[in-house]
Structure 1
Amino acid sequence: MSHSKNPLFIILAFFSIYIIWGSTYLLNKIAVTELPPFMLASIRFITAGLLIFGISKAMGKSLRLTRAQFWNTVIAGFLFLAFGNGVVVWALRFVDSGFAALVISAQPLVVLLFMRILEGKKILPMSMVGVILGLIGIYLLVSQRQVTSSENSILGILMIFACLLSWSYGSLFVGKANLPSNHFVNTGYQMFTAGIILGISSLLFDEPWSSPAAWSTPVLYSMLLLIIFGSIVAFTAFNYLLKVVSPEKVATSTYVNPVIAMILGWYFLDEQITLQSAIAAAVLLTGVYFINTKKKLAVLSRFTTRASKDLNK
């Protein structure tokens, strides 16, 4: 992609990070109804990683990296993808895709709290309002009887919160770690190594593996869309946007993704959107807006978008 500010490219890139990332929850939910979660995520990330390596070589980019950079990509890949994404796919068997997307949208709030606890950063008054609103929004979301009454839903919710902690810590780790300077190559290594970790996890959990020839058509299409669009197209669009528009504008995907996920889950999977869920969504996303809106927290916006959105979607 050219780095020139081509208005059409910018519009297409925003469409990619809004709609494609918002749809990954639906696609994962469809695929996990039939495929074991760790096997699904393993195949997705190994394939995407290999494709990224192939594209990088075709573009003349070096895949060389130091030993320290390699191990840092393994750690980041584990935090974002192996645990952060793989366990969300696992939890989607027990919770709605729209619900999962909404909980995950609280990530800027968790990053902010981690920055306070681990790095001693002060929370600005406007951001404090955001944190309080975010916590109220999450409480409204998870306190619904409809959400917690189905089998294993509590376990699913707890696992999604664990992923939220993993991604948020990963965001801070990536901000300081020595990683390959090319974001595309960096992501390729993270996806490939996370795919290997997920593959090993799948074998340890004794998941039954199956050939793509045995998958149903919806699952096959979901997997192709996740690999090509979710992992590669949206990521490239995201990197392009980071070079031509401000991080705050790129971070707007934080508000749009869960809304897209909820609408798609309602339309395609008959997931219920209760009045309380809608109110919780409005309160939570307003809180996230207050956290991201401060210019002084552009670093947070950059962390939350660069380190997590592209790497765990």
Structure 2
Amino acid sequence: MKDSKNPILIVIAFFSIYVIWGSTYLLNKIAVTELPPFMLAAIRFLIAGLLIVIIAKIIGIKLGITRIQLVNTAITGFLFLTFGNGVVVWALKYVDSSFAALQISAQPLIVLLMMRFLEGKKILPMSIVGVILGIVGIFLLVNQNGLIAKEGMTLGMIMIFVCMLSWGYGSLFVTKADLPSNFFVNTGYQMLTGGSMLLIASLAFGESWSNPINWSTHVQLSMLGLIIFGSIVAFTSFNYLLKSVSPEKVATSTYVNPVIAMLLGWYFLNEVITPQSIIAAIILLSGVYFINTKKKMVMFARFKKQKTI
């Protein structure tokens, strides 16, 4: 598909997964203070999925998909949304929004290792340099006194790591799976299937559901932002990029998201930004440069033939 390589669309999509997704940590943190985590995520994705279906109908996009495509969207919906996102939202009950984003910034390392050990692909030196810088930045960010002293913090960190494995495998699965060719439709089915499984999880765990009218204004606005921007715009961009560029380049969003989450957490939630955090953020962004540097992108020409990463 020619439009899948449109450079302008790729830039816009990267902006979405870099900046908008960075803000979803704050929005989820605000919402989860009042709402049960799986209920929150289920409402978010089910409404977003329904909106996508309605929009697609209005503008004349065909929604028909094959049985295998439905199965694959359900698998990706589980890996990305039901487990990958739902459990992260649960962990935010115990972990600061900025800390969660910073931990998840190790995602590119997981993707690279999965591509190496599951697919046998070569890891280029520039990728290794970028990942090392990212890990150094993460170490500086989390290695600060009192940061993990909160109750439930360790369990939250462990569960977020498991979610990262789910997202990493999902990223590789999407690049090869037979999915709806339209990225908007693909996102819609993933939202509906993933949201349905989150609904089942919420009921299975006995979460107490509440009327949105009774939510605070902050939670209502957070949910609106999560549905429109975090789900429809950013997740559609994510699916678009997974089919347009290599998986580890998409994973570089986890380097930028922490910086956005850190700034928003500091401004809205009074989460502390130390000089060490600023230095670490600079190192993380340097990791993005080394992974996306033009010199490396020339080497990536062979990726079209699925030979290297």
Q: Identify the residue that residue 232 of structure 1 maps to in structure 2.
A: 232
Q: Identify the residue that residue 285 of structure 1 maps to in structure 2.
A: 285
CA deviations over 1:102-151 (Å, ceiling 9, x no partner): 22232222111111111111111222222333333333333333221010
Deviation of the 1:235 alpha carbon? 4.5
What is the root-mean-square deviation in Å for CA atoms of aligned residues?
A: 3.1
Q: Identify the residue that residue 108 of structure 1 maps to in structure 2.
A: 108
Is 1:185 the counterpart of 2:185? The answer is yes
In 2: Cα distance, 1:163 partner to 1:251 partner: 14
Deviation of the 1:273 alpha carbon? 1.7
SS of equivalent residue, structure 1 residue 116: helix
Deviation of the 1:253 alpha carbon? 4.7
Deviation of the 1:61 alpha carbon? 1.3
Counterparts of 1:22-61 in structure 2, within 5 Å, are 22-61=22-61
CA separation of 1:174 and 1:181: change in aligned 2, threshold 3 A: same
In 2: Cα distance, 1:243 partner to 1:174 partner: 8
Deviation of the 1:15 alpha carbon? 5.6
Aligned residue identity for 2:278? A
CA deviations over 1:41-77 (Å, ceiling 9, x no partner): 0000000001101111112111111111111111101
CA deviations over 1:283-304 (Å, ceiling 9, x no partner): 333234323432145799xxxx
In 1: Cα distance, 2:169 partner to 2:236 partner: 23
Give ranges in structure 2 of 5+ residues lacking alignment.
304-309
In 2: Cα distance, 1:180 partner to 1:203 partner: 30
In 2: Cα distance, 1:242 partner to 1:172 partner: 9
Deviation of the 1:258 alpha carbon? 2.1
Q: Identify the residue that residue 128 of structure 2 maps to in structure 1.
A: 128
CA separation of 1:214 and 1:199: change in aligned 2, threshold 3 A: same
Q: Is the 8 A contact 1:106 1:284 kept in 2?
A: no
Aligned residue identity for 1:121? K
Is 1:269 the counterpart of 2:276? The answer is no
In 2: Cα distance, 1:290 partner to 1:62 partner: 40
Aligned residue identity for 2:159? M
In 1: Cα distance, 2:252 partner to 2:131 partner: 17
237-246 or 254-263, which deviates more:
237-246
Aligned residue identity for 1:172? L
Counterparts of 1:236-251 in structure 2, within 5 Å, are none
Aligned residue identity for 2:81? L
CA deviations over 1:233-276 (Å, ceiling 9, x no partner): 34456678899999999877554332121111000000112333
SS of equivalent residue, structure 2 residue 233: helix
Aligned residue identity for 1:203? L
CA separation of 1:10 and 1:35: change in aligned 2, threshold 3 A: same
Q: Is the 8 A contact 1:111 1:168 kept in 2?
A: yes
Is 1:137 the counterpart of 2:137? The answer is yes
TM-score (norm 1): 0.84
Q: Is the 8 A contact 2:252 2:288 kept in 1?
A: no
Deviation of the 1:219 alpha carbon? 0.4
CA separation of 1:231 and 1:136: change in aligned 2, threshold 3 A: same
CA separation of 1:210 and 1:185: change in aligned 2, threshold 3 A: same
Share of identical aligned residues, percent? 71
283-292 or 156-165, which deviates more:
283-292
Give ranges in structure 1 of 5+ residues lacking alignment.
301-313
TM-score (norm 2): 0.85
CA deviations over 1:152-171 (Å, ceiling 9, x no partner): 11111111111111111100
Aligned residues between the structures: 297
Q: Is the 8 A contact 1:82 1:194 kept in 2?
A: yes
SS of equivalent residue, structure 2 residue 147: helix
Q: Identify the residue that residue 309 of structure 1 maps to in structure 2.
A: none
